[in-house]
Amino acid sequence: MKIEPGELSPEFLEKSAFHPYICSMLNSVPREDTYLQKGIRKQLVQSLRVKGIRDERVLAAIEAVPRHFFLDPAFERQAYEDRAFPIFAGQTISQPFTVAYQTQLLEIKKFDKVLEIGTGSAYQAIVLAELGVSVFSIERQKTLYDHISNFFFLKKFPTIKRFYGDGFEGLPSYAPFDKILITCGAPFIPPKLIEQLKPGGIMVIPVGGDRVQKMLRVTKDATGKVYEEYMGDFEFVPMLTGKSVNQF
């Protein structure tokens, strides 16, 4: 099946790139980050700057992380386009602008303790780790959780701890967290995550229906009172309850 550049047919995705065994094998093999790819990544960072990302630490983290490592080699040309990209188990690797924007909203400080809901490809988790924080990341999709276990690049980041579980429950035994980031569209703000947010902490969460969610920045003051700020409309895959064992 011939695929033209930029053409990602459902048949090709199903039969090749996102077969879990092929993905797992490819994920474990170290990849090269060429001067060409670094140059294209610089262009991506400049485009994010133009679109309103002002935190230079966030931009430096995006530039430091080779996004093509997170995609099948067949799709390296698309890796630095500013758009979301399907992985498998019905999930996506988020658009670089969305990753940068959510990270900027968190107002990350070095050594922060960050809870992430929705590990996915681990791209967001690694961008956070580049900022010098400890990341506690939950993934409910067993296929994705196992897939990332073999990812060669993830092994370079010992400050990322991964968990297979229900994001609505959070990680009470590791709480409280300085920051909480939700990378999927939640139907509501989970009360248990609010409980696990440290006083003075920040949560960034997209909330709403299946198609479009409102990005909210939620802060908790020293007395435990919670405040919400609307930060724009975005589109995410839905946040679901429980744990899922995917079969392909």
Q: State the CATH number of the domain containing residue 14.
A: 3.40.50.150
Instruction: List the catalytic residue out of 9, 28, 94, 149.
Output: 94
| Whether the Cβ atoms of residue 206 and residue 236 lie closer than 8 Å to each other | yes
Q: Does residue 3 belong to any structural domain of this protein?
A: no
Q: Does residue 246 belong to any structural domain of this protein?
A: no
Q: What is the DSSP string of 63-74?
A: HHS-GGGGS-GG
Q: What is the pLDDT of residue 218?
A: 98
Backbone angles phi, psi at 128, to 5 degrees: -65, -45
Q: Which of 26, 75, 25, 68 is nearest to 44 (CA)?
A: 68
Q: Does residue 94 have an active-site annotation?
A: yes
d(CA 103, CA 55): 9
Residues of the chain with pLDDT under 50: 1-18, 21-22, 248
Beta-carbon contacts of residue 79 (< 8 Å; ≥ 6 apart): 37, 67, 68, 70, 71, 85
Q: What is the pLDDT of residue 81?
A: 93
| Whether the Cβ atoms of residue 88 and residue 20 lie closer than 8 Å to each other | yes
Q: Does residue 58 belong to any structural domain of this protein?
A: yes
Q: Does residue 18 belong to any structural domain of this protein?
A: yes
Q: Does residue 5 belong to any structural domain of this protein?
A: no
Q: Does residue 60 belong to any structural domain of this protein?
A: yes
Q: Does residue 124 belong to any structural domain of this protein?
A: yes
Q: Per the structure, how many domains does the chain have? A: 1
Which residues on adjacent β-strands are paired with residue 181? 116, 204
d(CA 176, CA 113): 8
Strands 92-93 and 160-164: unpaired
Beta-carbon contacts of residue 194 (< 8 Å; ≥ 6 apart): 203, 218, 220, 226
Q: Does residue 228 belong to any structural domain of this protein?
A: yes
Tokens at 172, concatenated: 């009470």
CA atoms within 13 A on the CB side of 126: 23
| Whether the Cβ atoms of residue 234 and residue 208 lie closer than 8 Å to each other | no
The residue segments making up the domain with residue 126 are 10-234
